[in-house]
Structure 1
């Protein structure tokens, strides 16, 4: 037990309060500075009692400074509502307490209008993954997420599903030649693809965005790590869909999942830091720091966020165009949607900012894609416009266990058996993305029958993911 990591309850027992000083103490503790658990606790107690004695200490100086200024800092804190606004939880029985606790905090923000928790929800930073939050004149960078504009894109080709078996080797080669994966990975200058998004005037909005243009160009048409993928599969329409113009049947389809790469992540980090400097919230809500969309900083983030969303869309377009060209196939239909973004929408007769962090837009008749895992079905859906869900649905199955837990507990033999049983070829990926690490997609879909109608079912067959341990998702 000696080296068990110190947590907030340990600090409270020493006399610390749940405020920014606790956050600084926990940050120091994470560095593992050569002290054992008991020594670290003793140091934390002494700093709390005599912070002025540690102002020159190389390790504890940041904590001492915060403790000496904590009363002044507390006076600047924006007060939360005393009680959380009421919100609807879909699939409540399968959602961890940590996600609900985060949502409860979000519902206390003074700018909060409404909220909802989707059935794939799990704990994240700030707003939980699967959290939907409507605010008044405020945008929360961590309510959008680090991977701004993370999205799905589905291309349905005029080729029968039997093409997957007949030309499996060709399809594998097409994926390997036309995709690139992993955090930080991209293309050399002679390999790069041009796209009109790079001509956007927003790249000249300020020096910060301008400095990111080369990074954006380098990674255009590539995919991130973690749960991002490019995969071929069979999509089945049990009945014709007149709106899409697709007849009943089984077709070859391409499904992709990725976001705005390093470009969006850098924007998210920059504006999250700025929001925290401007919007001083209590410790438990610090990751929900927001920017006023009527102020210069909020307008700048809004423009940058939308540019990152356009860039994410462009990445998918480049991938789909390359692969369609390699196949020489005609496109029957294409559907796309963001699930890490913020939109200006009407809700209860007023304009609000709707944050969907890991949630699919599901307004009336709006098309969306909800994937399962590398070995389970995904679904093409049409929204029902459920107001209690703020016109939203889940963005996938949702994690059942953390990446660390999956790597420690799941068996490669079990994964291999599942893939062989379902006839799935996996190119890349780690055990943290094994299907056993995710919730049952069918239970998730059953919990949101009031939110979406299923239009077609997608079954993955040839799946490519990052194989370098990247966690960019």
Structure 2
């Protein structure tokens, strides 16, 4: 099939205005539809013309949709009556834009502290600089594990005035760590290694979209929020089927050894070494759908310059802001329930009850007091580290994780890193090592890996010890976790 060729006549026939949107579509769409007939592309474009707002995040149509929105904005400004030749739904959104106006960034950014700046890529710094210029920003900080993401960088912390940024929380709402420490000897990871491998395989489920065939009840599924929001109601069954499962990428459940080093720890666990279970995952399809839906809503309500568009926010005094806040908290509770279900299954299989459990979110927003004022603190890939607050900062498959106690450092907005942080992108990591080389590295470190992709190989991550050195003002270590048997997505 030859290269896609669209003409102005084609586009005008489906409702395109006489505007630069035509030339943008003609030049941009062939890049995304290389072997598709122009008749099919025209059919796909019809809903884009009718409601371009819904396609601002669709990579194929984003440039065309943005041009169409810009055209209609100009038309609305020209019209003294507000009448335009567009659908009622689009007109309502355009009027909302007119009422709210395009948000400008501050000329000057608010000051913020960067921890371990020599370890942070420029892309993450650039994103933090933009976030620090939002008119709603009150305080910000950049953790030493930071790397570039969408909206806020991973490892970015941002406190705002009565507003929540869906992409400041992230797609995997409530992604968290959970650690169970057992009164069982560390040598079990060797003497009962095969048994523990089987326990992990039988009691965990990994992968995007994966669901259990049998649904089990849990209090989180009875949350009244499911009945008060049509979007949440449509996700309730999926949430039920995925409860207790884990995602893909860097999500894991692993057996390892905890070494408690602080005799005065709040866990009341004596100094020593113990068999333990550590898990890392989030709110599955529930959280991802909530994030994507309300990010679109925020971008419609709060139009920002191109470089800041993923930082669109929702005012908590609006209906949409309250909807997202309730949905986000539900997703956080659900993520916690998923971890608890996993740990309950493994505890039952071991025939033991844990001595102690430590857990924390790291993709979330909280109402907190900072500098005497209530703010909304976004921690996108950052660990809460208020005074005496416990948390877990993992390393990699071959590096220890740290059980930490927060120091409540105000300049970090009571936060710390959420891990070692990526040194290589997933593509770079996967292309820089073979399966044979990864197996050799893991064997030399005494690590058993069940599943796992090359993109999660240890060399993809920063040195966790260097990351921890950069945040000694933020946390103190009370124990270490050494991974031994790691279960990840296939």
Give me the TM-score of the superposition, normalised by structure 2.
0.83
Q: Which residue of 2 aligns with 1:33?
A: 34
C-alpha displacement at 1:209, in angstroms? 0.9
1:412 deviation in Å?
2.5
SS at match of 1:256: strand
CA distance in 2, matches of 1:248, 1:206: 48
How far off its partner does 1:411 sit?
Answer: 2.9
Task: Measure how far apart 1:199 and its partner are.
Answer: 1.1
In structure 2, how many angstroms separate the alpha carbons of the residues matched to 1:369 and 1:151?
Answer: 9
Superimposed CA distance per residue, residues 310-329 of structure 1 (whole angstroms, 9 cap, x where no aligned partner):
00000000000000000011
SS in 1 for 2:297: helix
Distance 1:346 1:200, change over 3 A: same
Change in CA separation of 1:22 and 1:363 when aligned onto 2, cut-off 3 Å: farther
Which residue of 2 is the match for residue 390 of structure 1? 413
Q: Distance in 1 between matches of 2:382 and 2:67?
A: 41
| 1:286 counterpart residue number | 309
Quick one: structure 1 residues 28 and 457, their matched pair in 2 at CA, closer, same or farther if it must change by over 3 Å? farther
Give the aligned partner of residue 225 of structure 1: 248
Which residue number corresponds to residue 361 of structure 1?
A: 384
Q: For the residues of structure 2 that align with 1:21 and 1:217, how far apart are their CA atoms?
A: 45
| Distance in 1 (alpha carbons) for counterparts of 2:186 and 2:464 | 22
Distance 1:26 1:424, change over 3 A: farther
- Which residue of structure 2 aligns with residue 52 of structure 1? none
Aligned residue in 2 for 1:131: 156
Provide the C-alpha distance between the structure 1 equivalents of 2:65 and 2:302, rounded to a whole number of angstroms.
Answer: 21
TM-superposed CA distance for 1:193, in Å, is 2.3
Identify the residue that residue 314 of structure 1 maps to in structure 2: 337
8 A contact 1:21–1:70 mirrored in 2: no
| Alignment partner of 1:324 is 2:327 | no
Question: Is the Cα contact below 8 Å between 1:113 and 1:134 reproduced in 2?
Answer: yes
Alignment of 1:103 with 2:128, yes or no, is yes
Q: 1:61 to 1:117 in 2, by over 3 A?
A: closer
Shift of 1:241: 3.7
Correspondence list, 1:210-359, <5 A: 210-359=233-382
Pairing partner for 1:422 from 422, 428, 445 = 445
CA separation of 1:350/1:419 partners in 2, compared to 1, >3 Å: closer, same or farther? same
Give the unaligned 5+ runs of structure 2: 1-20, 37-59, 78-93
Give TM-score scaled by structure 1 length.
0.86
Does the Cα contact within 8 Å between 1:361 and 1:392 map onto a contact in 2?
yes
Aligned 8 A contact 2:24 2:67 in 1? no
Judge conservation of contact 1:24–1:63 (CA < 8 Å) in 2.
no
Find the residue that maps to 2:274 and give its secondary structure: strand
Query: RMSD of aligned C-alpha atoms?
Result: 2.3
Shift, 1:376, TM fit: 1.1
In the alignment of these two chains, the number of paired residues is 424
- The CA distance in 2 between the partners of 1:433 and 1:196, in whole Å, is 34
CA-to-aligned-CA distance 1:230-284 (integer Å, 9 cap, x gap): 0000010124244211001100000000000001000001100000010111111
Separation of aligned partners in 2, 1:64 and 1:354: 34
Tell me by how many angstroms 1:219 deviates: 0.2
Q: How far apart in 2 are the matches of 1:22 and 1:137? A: 41
| Correspondence for 2:68 | 65
Deviations 1:287-322 (A, max 9, x none): 000001111111110000000000000000000000
Write the distance in 1 (CA, Å) between the matches of 2:147 and 2:393.
Answer: 16
| Aligned equivalent of 1:140, options 141, 165, 168 | 165
CA contact (8 A) 2:430 2:455 kept: yes
Does the aligned pair in 2 maintain the 1:193–1:221 contact within 8 Å?
A: no
- Tell me the alpha carbon deviations over residues 367-416 of structure 1, each in whole angstroms, 9 at most, x when there is no partner: 00000111211010000001110000000010101111111122323311
* Cα distance in 1, alignment partners of residues 133 and 65 from structure 2: 29
Residues 65-84 of structure 1, C-alpha deviations (whole Å, 9 max, x = no match): 35645756998311110111
Q: 2:106 aligns with which of 61, 67, 81?
A: 81
Aligned-residue offset at 1:28: 4.4
Q: Matched residues in 2 for 1:27 and 1:300: separation?
A: 35
Does the residue aligned with 1:160 lie in a helix, a strand or coil?
coil
2:51 aligns with none
